[in-house]
Structure 1
Amino acid sequence: MAHEPEVITRTGVHGPAAYDLVIHHAHVFDGHKVHTGLRDVAINGGEIAAVSAEPLSGTKEVDAAEAWVLPGLIDTHLHFYDVRAVSDPESMRAFEENELPGRLDLFLQHGVTTIKSVGDPTGGILETRAKIAAGTLRGPRLLATGCGITVRDGHPASTIFSGNAWARARFTGEIGSVQQMRDLVHHLADRKVDAIKLLSEGACASHGSPKYVWQNAAFPDPVELVRLPLDFLRAGIETGHERGLRVTVHTAQQDAAREALEAGADGLEHGVTVEPITDHALIDLMLERDVSYTPTLWIHDAIHPDARGNVKKVADAGVSIALGSDTFCGPGRFGANTLEEAELMVAAGMTPIQSLVAGTSGAARQCVRPDLGTVAPGKRADLIMLAADPTQDIGNLRELSMTILNGEIVVDRHHKE
């Protein structure tokens, strides 16, 4: 085993210098592996400054008393605005004023320090992102794609928003040509979205491709859908890449997943849910293209019996898994759903360590945020402290003692125990 330095800092300097905050005597899961023995973790400003086997000194100090420190959780797939309550400007304002702050805080209360919105009204979600970044609104770090892009009458326009025309025009981007696809991706890139989301099996206007029935426990009526035309799909991915943006694609069938990957997609949202993966070449393609797979079992586990087995197949093969719950207003609870997603991945056959990687460094990789998801010098100081070991029992993610966001303690139950 290689020698591990007693103190790890960005400068490599060993010494008694006081850091802004030091957490003493903690077990550390760093987003990839468990460190042997107990560690001190030091923070300066919003960055991790040192991880040490020797005592460090801090202006503020916390004795972890052998609790577990790990990166804050990242949920890469959720829908934040209430798709049922928001139906006009007045209800939109009411949601933002009365519901939004509390929902944001729920994530912090469950140890989720970064969330990625993948289909909210572009203007609203980007304004919320700006307020959080400016410190005028308390909440987790927010990444956003803006509206999801689909063909006219595709999912979610013809499914979730079939009876809500006002929201449909804002939560979804419906396009009818390759040029409209390119124009919309450029428009979103101009507004500085963090990524692009396309919905492959969300088009009702492309004929000759295999159909499947969209269904969701929260919505009563199933809708039969077919796939996004290939030239539209390629145009969206190519334009996103031209603008330096990662493009992930909503899929459900393995044929659609293969098509998305061959078109250049960087990741699969949901992956394969409606049938078992029997095409082993698809898994080989995932590995070859180094894409991410976001299972969203929280929503699919109860309605698609093959979803769990598919997660185990891709995880066992070494495909990069990213945690994404597909949380939306209504079922469950924001934050708690993220923890349930981690538990469902273990129930599907992943190990607790694999699930933790998916919710930290794997999720950061999917979001193209190498500054997140790892406990190491130079990384953002987004950390959680747990009273029990999550690497042995993933349910211990529920034993939250502390949440640290950007170097600041934002949830503290540790000193109340």
Structure 2
Amino acid sequence: MGDAVTRTAEDHDSAQHDLVVRRGHVFDGHRPLPGLYDIAINGSQIAAVSRQPLRGRTEVDASEGWVLPGLIDTHLHFYDVGAVSDEESMRAFEETELPRKLALFLQHGVTTIKSVGDPTDGILNTRAKIAAGSLQGPRLVATGCGITGRDGHPAATIFAGNPWARSRFTAEVGNAQQMRDVVHHLADRKVDAIKLLSEGACACTTSSTYVWHNPAFPASVDLVRLPSDVLRAGIETGHERGLRVTVHTTQQVAAREAVEAGADGLEHGITVEPLTDHALIDLMLDRGITYTPTLWIDDALHPDSRDNVKKVADAGVTIALGSDTFSGRGLFGANTLEEAELMVAAGLSPVQSLVAATSAAARHCGRPDLGVAAPGKRADLIVLTADPTRDISNVRELAMTIFDGRIVVDNRHATMRHRGG
């Protein structure tokens, strides 16, 4: 990666832009563009993507590396469910762990994350601090707590022994009116989207009932899916408030129920069984469903997950990258890159995986201003030293992260010299 170049006023009287990334190959969020380009940034927006040289007060030489939109992880859990059990431990996590974990995303080229089941107060306060600039981190989209049925997942599973966290990370509803009340409450808090949980995470085929079991937890738990009228009430109320609503599913019957109820997307999708309902795939296409496979968490546990995501991708269903990252396993940011690699291992092309991590993920988040390298879009960009459209593992070759028009990670050896500096 070449040195950054900043021209002086004498060299460059006609500088027009705040920042220009020069001479890079570009993946624009949909496809790789032919040739080399300059990308100009003014303030927090992309001003131009040009095959002709552009001039800026700060110029970064991409040295024919690759420039693409910052990566987006649409499914993660940020607060540590194992460490947070009262006000004191919550405060300790926010003061000591939270800033470091946020920084990890930017260090891996992840510029937007979507929290789908963190404590509402905590995650919205974190979102506000990032937006205000008092806390450095990626752009944060948040649903607040996840909404489930009485004694549903994850309230009666992951949080069974942690009642303090259970009441904050989840909202349990027993009927359609309670569902509507919770969705309205979250909408009043200005969440970015709604997440409903139709069922748990594992169907044990040896049991006649639906049973949740996870190797990390000692007990199995009998569960009942969220009733269809309650599910529909949540989706309709979310839409009334202008919010996208996605539904946690693992089985075909639950996925079909969610799609028919009007969901915008499926979190996990179909993981515990082979996807054999081809009419369901057609329904996903007809309804414009976004499918988030979360292979990072499901690949090892559920061998059908890979084949299922390949089936829906081949059919043309929109795939969004979401890792289901949570504290305690792997590394925030690095898990997102592994998710991109796992999608390719499942049979998607590197370009399909990149689309899932950029423009499709932005659509899933309801953020048309993100995920595309084009004029008028947010200037969230990464610069790589190698071609990710040929080898997806090259997303690990990060030279620079640009967030909201500012260079926030610079892995090059050269020191930038700013105009007049």
Query: TM over 0.5, yes or no?
Result: yes
The reply to whether residue 325 of structure 1 matches residue 323 of structure 2 is yes
From 190, 203, 228, give the equivalent of 1:192.
190
Distance 1:211 1:288 in 2: 32
Name the amino acid aligned to 1:263: A
**For residues 79 and 193 of structure 1, do their structure 2 counterparts lie closer, same or farther at Cα, with a shift above 3 Å needed?**
same
Distance 1:266 1:217 in 2: 30
Question: What is the aligned-residue RMSD (CA, Å)?
Answer: 1.4
CA drift at 1:202: 4.4
Contact 1:217 1:303 in 2 (8 A): no
From 49, 52, 62, give the equivalent of 2:50.
52
**In the alignment, what sits opposite 1:314?**
312
SS in 1 for 2:328: coil
Q: Which has the higher contact order (CA 8 A, sep 6+)?
A: 2
**For residues 406 and 139 of structure 1, do their structure 2 counterparts lie closer, same or farther at Cα, with a shift above 3 Å needed?**
same
**For residues 343 and 213 of structure 1, do their structure 2 counterparts lie closer, same or farther at Cα, with a shift above 3 Å needed?**
farther
Unaligned runs of 5+ residues in structure 2 are 1-13, 202-207, 416-421
Residues 285-324 of structure 1 aligned to structure 2 (within 5 Å)? 285-324=283-322
CA drift at 1:392: 0.5
SS in 2 for 1:401: strand
**In the alignment, what sits opposite 2:395?**
397
Contact 1:22 1:40 in 2 (8 A): yes
From 375, 380, 383, give the equivalent of 2:381.
383
**In the alignment, what sits opposite 2:108?**
110
**For residues 215 and 110 of structure 1, do their structure 2 counterparts lie closer, same or farther at Cα, with a shift above 3 Å needed?**
farther
**In the alignment, what sits opposite 1:358?**
356
Q: Spell out, residue by residue over 1:20-48, the C-alpha distance to the aligned partner (whole angstroms, 9 max, x if none).
A: 00011100000001110110000000000
From 166, 171, 174, give the equivalent of 2:172.
174
From 89, 94, 97, give the equivalent of 2:95.
97
Distance 2:315 2:210 in 1: 27
**In the alignment, what sits opposite 1:81?**
79
**For residues 222 and 352 of structure 1, do their structure 2 counterparts lie closer, same or farther at Cα, with a shift above 3 Å needed?**
farther
CA drift at 1:216: 3.4
**In the alignment, what sits opposite 2:38?**
40
Report the identity percentage.
77
Distance 2:405 2:149 in 1: 43
Distance 2:34 2:349 in 1: 19
TM-score (norm 1): 0.93
CA drift at 1:178: 1.1
Contact 1:202 1:228 in 2 (8 A): no
Residues 229-378 of structure 1 aligned to structure 2 (within 5 Å)? 229-378=227-376
Contact 2:23 2:61 in 1 (8 A): yes
**For residues 73 and 129 of structure 1, do their structure 2 counterparts lie closer, same or farther at Cα, with a shift above 3 Å needed?**
same
The reply to whether residue 408 of structure 1 matches residue 416 of structure 2 is no
CA drift at 1:283: 0.1
CA drift at 1:223: 2.7
SS in 1 for 2:75: strand
CA drift at 1:212: 3.4
TM-score (norm 2): 0.92
**In the alignment, what sits opposite 1:9?**
none
Distance 1:18 1:80 in 2: 40
SS in 2 for 1:385: strand
Q: Spell out, residue by residue over 1:132-157, the C-alpha distance to the aligned partner (whole angstroms, 9 max, x if none).
A: 00000000000000000001110000
**In the alignment, what sits opposite 2:5?**
none
